[in-house]
């Protein structure tokens, strides 16, 4: 049924639009995911979301405490429509543990970024799925998240400044790691079921009144 619905919705889209979405979807991955921990500047968090979209990272996890995640429309440039956002709110009990437990149950190695780590991100092997964790601009990764992590890495730096802006850090690491991933033998693409689910979602949101067309499809199906 899902694929029949996709075909129906696709009949209202141009071939160019459908080809573009399918091409992007073929380059999406959840082998690498990103975790943001209590980011206090909305434009930085939004810049990371945009970066995830640009590098084909489908899932973004956000741990919220004092600072709620807010999308800056001028920064994300529509990327919020294509990224799957997972939020772990302050009211959730032990929200960091909830996030990490979920990711570990899905096979992820939890990697925190820190300027004080002795290991470079380039040394991370692609022998398991990787969740890259970035902390707040002022405090960095909290001790609670550190305690739950499997590994910590840094970005090699050669100047006086101790760290990069968080969105720059994410872009540097993802650029290198995604390139490495694409040139590896790792099966990094999304599963067929996930691609089907996302394609249906993308087709629906790309149509004006997409929900109407979906309801119309269901009505016509029931009449048969």
Stated pTM of the model: 0.91
Question: For the chain, what is the largest distance between any 2 Cα atoms, rounded to a whole number of angstroms?
Answer: 70
Q: Where are the domains of the chain?
A: 1-28+192-224, 29-189
User: Residue 70 above 90 pLDDT?
Assistant: no
CA distance 182 to 188: 8
- Average pLDDT on 143-169 reads 90
Residue 107: per-residue pLDDT: 97
Task: Write out the CATH class of domain 29-189.
Answer: alpha beta
User: Residue 91 above 80 pLDDT?
Assistant: no
Distance, CA of 216 to chain centre: 32
Report in angstroms the alpha-carbon separations of 131 from 18, 31, 179, 207: 30, 8, 16, 33
User: Residue 74 above 60 pLDDT?
Assistant: no
Mean pLDDT taken over the chain: 89
Residue 75: per-residue pLDDT: 59
Residue 222: per-residue pLDDT: 72
Residue 152: per-residue pLDDT: 95
Residue 115: per-residue pLDDT: 84
Residue 149: per-residue pLDDT: 95
């Amino acid at each position: 049924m899902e694929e029949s619905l996709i075909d129906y919705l696709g009949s209202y889209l141009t071939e160019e639009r459908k080809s573009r979405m399918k091409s992007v979807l073929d380059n999406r991955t959840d082998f690498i995911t990103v975790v943001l921990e209590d980011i206090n500047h909305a434009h930085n968090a939004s810049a990371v979301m945009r970066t995830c979209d640009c590098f084909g990272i489908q899932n973004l996890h956000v741990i919220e405490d004092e600072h709620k995640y807010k999308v800056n429309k001028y920064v994300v440039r529509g990327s919020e429509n294509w990224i799957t956002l997972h939020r772990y709110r302050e009211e959730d009990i032990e929200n960091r543990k909830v996030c990490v437990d979920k990711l570990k149950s899905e096979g992820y190695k939890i990697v925190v970024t820190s300027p004080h780590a002795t290991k470079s991100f380039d040394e991370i092997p692609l022998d398991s799925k990787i969740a890259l964790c970035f902390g707040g601009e002022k405090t960095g990764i909290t001790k609670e998240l550190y305690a739950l992590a499997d590994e910590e890495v840094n970005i090699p730096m050669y100047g006086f400044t101790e760290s990069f802006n968080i969105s720059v850090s994410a872009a540097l690491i993802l650029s290198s790691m995604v390139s490495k991933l694409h040139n590896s033998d790792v099966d990094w693409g999304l599963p067929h079921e996930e691609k089907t689910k996302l394609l249906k979602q993308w087709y629906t949101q790309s149509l004006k009144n997409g929900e109407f067309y979906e309801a119309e499809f269901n009505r016509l199906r029931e009449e048969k």
